């Protein structure tokens, strides 16, 4: 009789311990998912209030392109230098690094683009542009917003 009581007591302690471990694990997973969803929600809300446009782009020389990027949205774009810039003839875009020192590369007049402000982006190319050829510029900001502009080289 005493051995049965002791066995049942041990089984009860083991059951309570397992329930506690299971509850802790479930709470940890739910908390992690909640944090991920909150981060994703913040990122999506930033994208909703972000709106950029390229006002104008042209080549100032056969190997230099000037781009005017206008923030027409409600959110500030931080770390503009961390954006990814693509450039090339239509349908053949190539990624260009920021201030890499080796051609091609691009520079910007500001690292923070406030609502209503304009950033000047200068692209330095390794080979001359062909006149009467159409070229496309695509910029992807750090928060994932994409803006594209096509112009004809002169």
CATH classification code of 52-152: 2.60.40.10
Confidence of residue 3 (pLDDT cuts 50, 70, 90): confident
Give the residue with greater pLDDT, 108 vs 143.
108
Report pLDDT digits (tens) over 77-123: 999 999 999 999 988 999 999 998 889 999 999 999 999 999 999 99
User: Rounded CA gap, 67 and 138, in Å?
Assistant: 11
Give me the pLDDT at residue 45, please.
Answer: 62
pLDDT at 15: 82
Which among 154, 153, 152, 151 has a CA at the least distance from the CA of 54?
151
Q: Does the structure show a pLDDT above 70 at 47?
A: no
Q: Where are the domains of the chain?
A: 1-48, 52-152
Token representation of residue 42 = 């913040």
pLDDT in tens, 48-72: 678 899 999 999 999 999 999 999 9
- CB-based burial, 73-99: b 16+ in 10 Å, e otherwise: bebebeebeebebbbbeeeebeebeee
Q: Are 64 and 122 in contact (CB under 8 A)?
A: yes
Look at residue 151 in the predicted model and tell me its pLDDT.
Answer: 95
Cα three-residue angle 135-71-116, rounded to 5 degrees: 135
pLDDT above 90: residue 137: yes
Q: What is the mean pLDDT of the chain?
A: 88
- What pLDDT is attached to residue 44? 64
């Amino acid at each position: 009789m005493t051995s049965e009581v002791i066995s049942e007591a041990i089984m009860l302690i083991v059951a309570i311990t397992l329930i506690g471990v299971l509850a802790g694990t479930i709470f940890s997973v739910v908390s992690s998912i909640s944090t991920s969803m909150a981060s994703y929600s913040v990122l999506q809300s930033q994208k909703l209030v972000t709106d950029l446009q390229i006002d104008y782009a042209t080549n100032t020389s056969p190997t230099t392109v000037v781009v005017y990027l206008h923030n027409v949205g409600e959110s500030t774009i931080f770390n503009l230098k961390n954006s990814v810039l693509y450039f090339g003839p239509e349908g053949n875009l190539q990624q260009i690094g920021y201030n890499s020192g080796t051609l091609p590369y691009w520079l910007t007049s500001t690292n923070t683009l406030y609502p209503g402000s304009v950033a000047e982006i200068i692209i330095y190319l390794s080979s001359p542009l062909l006149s009467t050829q159409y070229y496309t510029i695509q910029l992807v900001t750090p928060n994932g917003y994409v803006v594209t502009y096509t112009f004809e080289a002169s």
